[in-house]
Structure 1
């Protein structure tokens, strides 16, 4: 019996595991407590401030549906910001992801250079990129589109590189043995093998860019976000509520459209 117990609990493993679970719980609790202190959480303020929130919501009703026609152009700008940012992000991220994939990169320096570019474009938030481009080219939708494109390069480049690194290398090796060139290998082995995954990732990125384009309007990058900021600054809360409804409808339609396209093509 003692031998059986020793085989089932070698070196007191269950007891040691319990100690690690307790230590992990203590660490998580300590992290949460310090976060609570640092962010100066005051739940009681939500109760005392409920009256002000209710007052704003009452003044926002009913929504100003007469603003539908005047805001059609900002809605189109918002959609086009996401389309521009996603398309250019994909076009720029794919060649970078080839260089950043350890199984396909032609040289180690190119691998590290591509990883560095992907890291920088991903690390800097799209809102910061929008501020930089607004300073460079002025107000309007163009700086917002550039910001989404640059930030998408970082996000898509990393995901594309991971997909390429996880792909089946059998077709690549077979074509290489037949003497096919690098371009032929990419066209006939790499792209067909990863295209469905890349399309799915691109559609998900379009959803993210659509949401981001709403926020970029707050720094003068056009779209619904700019109209929303203007209405809030002018205390036009009925217009604000209408724009929020329009935002919800736009995002929901984009999600359903992306899901339909993924089922249709993937």
Structure 2
């Protein structure tokens, strides 16, 4: 049998296996992209007015602030527990609500399973809107609507999570194997049956993994939302900073660090269990 010329001329590995090009970017394209990235970085230095010498000259002020924060006010630790719990619960509520709202939007926004093009574009627009408005802005809006406290923070995390999760979930659905979907469709199954018996089982591991990542991110985000009055330990941290209570600030930062690390480890453990 004759060898195909294109394969016969292909380079070989030391073991005799042929190496077939993967169609990746050429060397010239990689150089152009690298040069473009370098130019983008250099221009950013001018736009942000980067002045490393100011950071060096201001190191003494930073050191003075750190020295005034030592030792941490451990007697304030009990009063930090409730705001810390608020912060975690804001993230939990926001993640669960975000997943609950993002899943149906993602199904409508996935081109391979969306029932109609108008619904596809509408759901894409809703997801983009939720994602494009920062969670801090959502928090300000909800604080104006329902007042100060953890509830507006939870609502802000929920809406922003819908945007981020909706986009990721829709991409997972679009990349799924359509074989089971086509098979069920040919048997006359309803859209709900196709979703529950073909789409959901195929994407569930990825959806759970993404949701856990989002929970990890939401805990960090909920810390910042306290700066605009949305509850949690962030609000207590801002209050201590405004009152120049740096020893209280240091103990709150320690609590925040421990909380974030525990949430990250727990999230990683759950992802391993799911995988």
Aligned to 2:218: 209
- Once residues 246 and 256 of structure 2 are traced to their aligned partners in structure 1, the CA distance between those partners, rounded to angstroms, is 15
Indicate the larger mover: 186-195 or 151-160. 186-195
User: In the aligned structure 1, how far is the partner of 2:29 from the partner of 2:197?
Assistant: 50
CA distance in 2, matches of 1:20, 1:127: 39
Is 1:50 matched up with 2:50? no
The alpha-carbon deviation at position 26 of structure 1 amounts to 4.4
Name whichever of 173-182 and 104-113 sits farther off.
Answer: 173-182
Structure 2 unaligned blocks of 5 or more: 1-8, 11-25
Give 1:117's aligned residue: 126
- Which range is displaced more, 211-220 or 43-52? 43-52
Q: Distance in 1 between matches of 2:250 and 2:60?
A: 18
> CA 1:23–1:255 in 2, change beyond 3 Å: closer, same or farther?
closer
Distance change >3 Å, CA 108–CA 24, structure 1 → 2: closer
* 1:177, distance to aligned residue in structure 2 (A): 1.1
Check whether the contact 2:180–2:198 (CA below 8 A) recurs between aligned residues.
Answer: yes
Aligned to 2:241: 232
When residues 43 and 165 of structure 1 are mapped into structure 2, their CA distance, relative to the original with a 3 A threshold, is same
| Mapping of residues 69-218 of structure 1, within 5 Å | 69-218=78-227
The structure with the greater share of residues assigned to helix is: 1
CA RMSD, aligned part only? 1.6
Structure-2 separation of matches of 1:256 and 1:88: 22
Q: What is the CA deviation profile of residues 22-42 of structure 1, one whole-angstrom value per residue up to 9, with x for unaligned ones?
A: 655543333222211111111
Q: How far apart, CA to CA, are the structure 2 residues paired with 1:135 and 1:250?
A: 29
CA shift at 1:67, angstroms?
A: 1.1
- d(CA) in 2 for partners of 1:234, 1:180: 64
1:228–1:112 Cα change, 3 Å? same
Q: Which moved more, 1:219-228 or 1:29-38?
A: 29-38
* Deviation >6 Å, runs of 4+: none
Which residue does the alignment assign to 1:263? 272
Q: TM-score, normalised by structure 2?
A: 0.88
- The count of corresponding residues between Structure 1 and Structure 2 is 252
Match of 1:59 in 2: 68
The gaps in structure 1 that reach 5 residues or longer are 1-6, 9-16
